[in-house]
Amino acid sequence: MTHSALRAQGVEHSNYGVITSVRGSVIDARFDDGLPPIYTLLHAGKEPRVAIEVLMQLDARHVRGIALNPTQGLARGTAVEDTGGPLKVPVGKGILSRMFDVFGNAIDRQPAPTDVEWRTIHRDPPSLGSRSTKSEVFETGIKVIDVLVPLERGGKAGLFGGAGVGKTVLLTEMIHNMVGHQKGVSMFCGIGERCREGEELYHDMKEAGVLPHMVMLFGQMNEPPGARFRVGLAALTMAEYFRDDEHRDVLLLIDNIFRFIQAGMEVSGLMGHMPSRLGYQPTMGTELSGLEERIANTDKGAITSIQAVYVPADDMTDPAAVHAFSHLSASIVLSRKRASEGLYPAIDLLKSNSKMATRAIIGERHYLLAQEIRKTLAQYEALKDIIAMLGMEQLSPDDRSVVGRARRLERFLTQPFFTTEAFTGIKGKDVSLEDAIDGCERILKDEFKDFPESAFYMIGSIDEARDKAKAAQPASPAGSGPKPNGPTKPQTAGHLIPKVQQGADVH
């Protein structure tokens, strides 16, 4: 950041020190006139300046900090400047439709925003007295989420899954749908993910005409751990402005919260701290809480957060996944098995859950339907081993009906996405909660028991199944009715599931 930019923020340049040690991103400096407090931002080197955040006071004259950008050119004896305050980012109406890095610099090749003020990224969460206690459902337009895992307005939802099961695709689809539904502000924060996806998201949002209501902040894979560790707090500071000053609802999307924990682990290791379980930092719980507790629903507005959570080796007992679970009001677990069967979104219908799925919040009809769907799917899961060994003909008529309902429900809860149209060639669908509930109820009542399972795959509302079944129906002799759907011998997944178009780039 330039001296003129610092002066615009009211920063005085009075306290100077000298670098005594450079070890990668870890910088030690000596200050004789006054020791900078923790979280103070220091600047060293020539343009572009190296930004250093103080994390430790070693003694009365020495501090240790972590560099937030590359440290090439730094050496012992280099002068280091105390900026007099912590890292700050711009807030205000001028940041809408723009892309920023962790320092608040515009990275969309446009002039720096005007009509903004600069605020520190280290802020306290809202007080308990100012928080709202009202619970409201946040509709997404995605059938499986709205029916089985309803999200909370002002809550935190996590998308859990390993590599390549569809976290980023689901996140971008939610942005697409929700910007159309909501009149608030969307904030996208990329932590340690691919630069390519950020660039594609920017152009997609621009083409969709929703960019004027969005702000994007990135600290990607190519940046040092210090920048990735602070970009989440920077995004929250911007989101808090719209909630507290403009009294607007904010949708905060974080891709990926695991990378925040991972960056903290790297910083902790670089600072020489003893690691905890599986190499994670001993302060992981405190650091994650400091971020998550600032995401809250207050009497002025709400910050609703949806966070992708990478699960290392698909192990849900990993400490990072366990700590993330504890802060969430809804957990959407993505299944590699469902993805391999072509059932997208690949959400595990039995492991995913939401604290909103109660009678008092979503109503009696919706609650009982969700329970019946889970019961049907659980019964089918228990029967799978028998089907695999002995075949469908060994099941009782009642069990065969359960299997048929479960398989139709699984396929009905798939959905073509707007963000994957270019890969699949199938037009995206936005389905209302009422249509999704109606479709599930009619399937459970066996209204469509004579329809082929393929008629329910990748459709929007249930009425599309009739059109799809008619289109697939071969010409039959007069008087012959539709064939019953119950298979008479064991069939492999390849026989039962329509092939997904090749070339779909599902992340």
Contact predicate 268/281, CB 8 Å: yes
Angle subtended at Cα 163 by Cα 161 and Cα 165, rounded to the nearest 5 degrees: 60
Which DSSP category does 118 fall into? E
Helix (H, G, I), strand (E, B) or coil at 87: coil
CB under 8 Å to 398, separation ≥6 — which residues? Answer: none
| Helix, strand, coil percentages, rounded to 5, for the chain | 40, 20, 40
Distance of CA 76 to the CA centre of its chain: 41
**Which entry of 194, 206, 336, 374 is annotated as an active-site residue?**
194
Beta strands in 359-412, from DSSP E residues, in sequence order: none
**Cα–Cα distance list, 158 to 165, 230, 352, 376, 418 (Å):** 14, 20, 10, 25, 21
Q: For residues 447 and 441, give the distance between their C-alpha atoms in angstroms, rounded to a whole number.
A: 9
* Amino acid occupying residue 329: S
Give the whole-angstrom CA distance, residue 116 versus residue 108: 17
Residue 221 to residues 25, 256, 316: CA-CA distances in angstroms? 15, 11, 23
Residue linked to tokens 């997944």: 493
Taking the C-alpha atoms of residue 174 and residue 61, their distance in angstroms, rounded to an integer, is 50
Tokens, residue 327: 């802060």
Lookup result for tokens 């619970």:
135
Residues 67, 56 contacting (CB under 8 angstroms): no
Catalytic-labelled residue, pool 64, 119, 156, 167: 167
Phi, psi of 189 (to 5 degrees): -120, 115
Residues 325/331, Cβ–Cβ less than 8 Å: yes
Selecting among 53, 81, 173, 193, the annotated active-site residue is: 193
Bridge partners of residue 412, in order along the sequence: none
**Catalytic site residue 183?**
no
Is 355 among the residues known to form the active site?
no
Annotated active-site residue 194? The verdict is yes
Residues noted as catalytic: 167, 193-194
